[in-house]
Structure formats: structure tokens, C-alpha cells
Homo-oligomer: A and B are copies of this chain.
Amino acid sequence: MEEVEAKVAEVELAADGELAADGGGKPADVRKDKPKKEKAPKEKKEKKEKAPQGQGKASGGKKEVKKETQLGISAKKDENFSLWYSQVVTHGEMIEYYDVSGCYILRPWSYAMWEIIKDFFDTEIKKLGVKNAYFPLFVSEKALIKEKDHVEGFAPEVAWVTRSGNSELEEPIAVRPTSETVMYPIYAKWIRSHRDLPLKLNQWCNVVRWEFKDPTPFIRSREFLWQEGHTAFATKEEADEEVLAILDLYRRVYEDILAVPVIKGIKSEVEKFAGGLYTTTVEAYIPNTGRGIQGATSHCLGQNFAKMFEIYFENDNRERKMVWQNSWGLTTRTIGVMVMVHGDDKGLVLPPRIAPVQVVIIHIPGKDIETNVLIEACKETAKQLKDAGLRVEEDYRDNYTPGFKFSDWELKGVPLRVEIGPKDLASKQVKVVRRDNGGKDFIATENIGASVAKILDDIQKSMLEKAREARDACIVKATNWDEFMAALNSKKMVLAPWCDEKEVEERVKERTKTDQHGAAKTLCMPFEQPELPEGSVCFSSGKPAKKWALWGRSY
């Protein structure tokens, strides 16, 4: 490679995001003020939402792009959502594309978010008595196919190892798509007496589902990271109770950490976990695409798996009983949902609780002051903020203007920027700028740790509120088919009285699937049900309605 090519490549790199991974916390040397070339792989182009003008703008015209290049994002969220998303996650340094289709690299910026989610959830489940363990990546075919409904749900997506080195394996071995069939043969061995119950295990691991739907970073990938909890109880009551306790932890991950409002509910028979008894879910919504997205699910497996895997225990009357089981999982999808909900045309917008860096401190040089003096003041402020338990980054790069740095950290979504210039120094204050609403303020350096912590709390709260308002504005009630279709086609979720019959849901799917759009389906039957007027009928079948169901197109 010639030096000239290296420079070209360096410019292209700026379009793809780059790594700020060194020890000193110095972001990489990139030139965001140069024209960019979109380099996301072709799967992105297969996506469905294409605002007509957006695509041309991004891939073509240098002139149009140039004005926004310092932000690193050329696509508009409202105009070309899928290109926008791809740019945000790559230029925001969360994701790098990879040469195995459907697999993505989680860069330190997004992996740190996953670590924050893990820490929270892991701590909470340990309080519930759950212990972590690790079960193998591989499943024998014999175990995998044991529960019929379950295997039907997963078999088309299973990746099979058939060779090692140059030798064919005697039997092909599946890569786990989920671990029910890995764990439960052993549960049958471990559980003998009521004293062995409840058994509550969890693992943090990777799973593989070789899907052929559009792969999308975080949202749908062939390998992803998750936690999977697998528990067994003596009674259905205990299982039911845990299903909801875990579901509420999932709600807290979304609402309290990611500032993403979710709707709790139960899945329909069509949508429930393959082989399970019932599935509860937290459902999020992406207003820009009008699509619902399953946030995380907590399943009661009932006794189906117990029966197939012969998981029995002796109760205190020495009777042989089958256990009741749950399984529950939360994936890296969480991060993608958060990006989609909060991001804007400048890039990521991170709620403080998930932000790997909550505050970035930037010095604003002036001609009558030594830069070192400013930097010393910044360092003192940084120390105070760190002492207050905040995650702080200091950006003293001397090869960029403050304006460039502002854009750079806005692209990465850091919730609060602290600027310190000569005037601030003189008046013992700093300037703070919020990423979520652009709000600017000056605050005293005295007791700055507490002041900034308060601002961050406010950002966290107001981001959730704003997202909730946007989401609520997208829920429409419909009592007949025409209202249902009108709402659906205006990118809404639809709350409709429903007869709760499998065939009716299948029929709705058929009727709503078009060349442009996927089928509408039930997202859930919300736990919080509006009153159902006497004599209500299903919006689709006209049969007596049993409950309100939330419908929508979805990821």
C-alpha cells in the first residue's frame, strides 16, 4: 500500500468509526472534516424503510454531505432511518462490521454498556438466589430434538459443526441457539428431592441463530450475547412469581437504565416461546419506523420440558412430582433499542446510567491564558466529579478545535459536556451543555460533584419521560378492521379487542403482509388492560373479544 492510499484509507476510516481504546483515554486521530463514504455492508441495503431522498444523499453528493461531516452522520433519522442507524452505530464507535454475514464486532464503547447492564442484572438476580454457571456451547442432536415444539421453533436456525480439522465428526453437533436442551438433561440428574428445589441458575454467554431475516447490529445478529436463566420449582405458584420478578428486572433495565419505556404483557399462543407454557415480555417501540420490538422475555415453561427430560422430585410426602420450570433471557439487543429510541441527527444520545462516559471535560483556550492553567482547572474539576462517583473523560487533544471535540463527543452520545475557558476560571464556574436537549448552563465549581450528579439525574429522568410521551402518542385504539389498518399504516401500535384465537392471529398476519411491510402481529396482551366494554367483539374476527391485545409491525 502506498502512502497516498494510506491517506485515502484514513479518510474512509473516519466514515466508519474508529477505536479510542488507548490507555490514556485519548480518542483516535481521525479526520471527520473530510468527505465520507458509506461503507456499511450490503445487508443494510436490503432493509425496508428507505426514505426516497435519504439514500442518494448519503451515498452520492459530496457537497450535500460536506456540511454535516464534522458530525460524522450524513443520514437523517426521519428520512432514512436504516442508513441513519447504521451510521450512528458505526461512526459512534459501537459496532464494526465483520466478514461473516450477520456477525458484528462490539467495540469498547458498546461493550462497556453491556457490562453496565450485566452488573445491574447480575447483582439483582443474585439477590433472588440465582447462581451463575457455565454450560457447553455444543448440544448433541439427541438432546436438541427431545422437546418437539421446541426443536421445531429453533431447528431451521441451528448451526451445525460437522468437521474438526479435516475429519468428519461421527455425529454433527449443534451450536446452542438457547440452552434448555443443554441444561435440562442434567437438571434431571441434579434434582431428586424437594430439598434440591428451587434450582436457580443463570449463564452469561453467546448463542447462535442462523437467521435469514435482515441482520441488523444489536437488533438481529447470528451470534449474540445474552444471559439465560433456567430455574426449577416445586410448585407453579413459585414459578409464576419468579416469571414476574424477572420481568420487572427487565423493565428496570429498559426504563431505569436505558430510559426506554416498555409495555409489560403476555405473548399470544402464536408468539410464545416454542415449547413453553406462557411467555411474558417487555415490549418497546421505535416511533420512526412504526415497529414494535420485543425487549426481553421471561417464560414459564410449565412442565413440558420436565416431562420430556424426566425432571422429577420427591416431595415431603415422598410422592414423585414433576418440577415447574422457567427460562428468561436478555440480550445485547437492549443496546440497539436504546440507540434507536434516543439517537438524533448528531449521533448517539446516551442516558447517563448507561453512558460509559457521563461527563466529558473540554478546555477552551484563550489568548490571555496559558493552556496549562486551564488544563489544571479541568483536572481539578475532573477529580471532583470522579470523587462523586461519576464516569469522566478529559479531552485535552491539541490537534483539534473545541468545536470539533464538541461534535465528536456528541456523536458518541456523552450526556454532559463541561467546558472551562478563561472567563469560567475567573468566575469560578463551568459551562455545562446537555446532550439530550442542548440545554446550556453555568454552574459553580464549588460542590460541582453534587450539582453535576443532579443534572445527570435530571437528564436520565427527562429522557425517559420524553421517550414515554413519544411512545404513548403511537398507541391507537381500534375496534374494527378499518381503524386497525389506518392506525397500522400511520406507523402506530394498535390496541384492539381480540378473541385470542390462534387462527385469527395467523389470518391477520396474512392480511397485513405486503411487499413493503412485514406482517402485523400481536406484540403482547398488556398486563394493564383498559376496561373492555360489555359486548366487545374482536376487531378482526367479529367474535366475542376476550381482551385488549397490542398489535403492530415489529423487528
> Which chain A residues have a beta carbon within 8 Å of chain B's beta carbons?
1, 3, 6, 9-10, 13, 16, 18-19, 21-26, 28-29, 96, 98-100, 103-108, 111-112, 114-115, 128-140, 142-143, 155-166, 172-173, 175, 185-186, 189-190, 192-201, 205-206, 208, 210, 223, 225, 310, 312, 314, 318, 320
Contact = CB atoms under 8 A, between A and B. Distances in A.
A108 B201 contact: yes
Contacts of A3: 314, 318, 320
Contacts of A205: 206
Contacts of A206: 137, 205-206
A327 to B, nearest CB: 15
A174 to B, nearest CB: 10
A99 B185 contact: yes
B112 A18 contact: no
A23 B137 contact: no
A52 to B, nearest CB: 31
Contact of A165 (B1, B111, B157): B157
B320 A201 contact: no
A130 B195 contact: no
B157 A132 contact: no
A206 B21 CA distance: 23
A16 B192 CA distance: 13
Given A164-B158, A164-B159, A198 B23 contact: yes
A373 B185 CA distance: 42
Given A16-B189, A115-B132, A163-B172, A137 B223 contact: yes
Given A104-B136, A136-B100, A199 B19 contact: yes
A163 B172 CA distance: 9
Contact of A22 (B107, B173, B200): B200
A320 B6 contact: yes
A486 B165 CA distance: 38
Contacts of A18: 189-190, 192, 196
Contact of A196 (B29, B158, B223): B29
13 contacts: A3-B314, A3-B318, A6-B192, A6-B312, A18-B192, A22-B197, A29-B194, A99-B140, A104-B136, A105-B186, A115-B132, A137-B208, A159-B163
